[in-house]
Amino acid sequence: MSLASWKKEFYPITAKKASEKSEVEAIEHSLKKWQGLTEENLEKHGLKKWGLAIKGIGTDQYLDIDDTSCALCEKYYNENVNEEIDDPCIKCPIYLSSKHTCHKQYGTYVGLSDPAQMIELLKETLEWSKTQ
């Protein structure tokens, strides 16, 4: 198993490609990626968390786990917004459904290697989006 096998199961298209799809499909892409970041799923594919990335054990192959691998960031992040007035994530369905960004959940993953909070947030966002 490898990063390639992990991608086949949990990240079959890039975040950029997924961002071109519907809101629900972008959320589903993000959720699938985060479900793949559980310790069990990383181990199954011979991967480990490596800083802000996941990496194949004994290889140089890695995938950054940040805004570049997030379909929602690719689709909704607005870098042209005045951050003193608005949050650049203001159009993201996570923000719209919960009135906060995913930064806390992402920080928990970075600090504790635990994707559970992000997975739960994305599940809630997906349910919200399906009712809109």
Which tens digit of pLDDT belongs to each residue from 9-62?
Answer: 999 999 999 999 999 999 999 999 999 999 999 999 999 999 999 999 889 999
With a threshold of 0.75, does the pTM exceed it? yes
Q: How confident is the model at residue 83 (pLDDT cuts 50, 70, 90)?
A: low
Of 54, 57, 58, nearest to 113 by C-alpha is 54
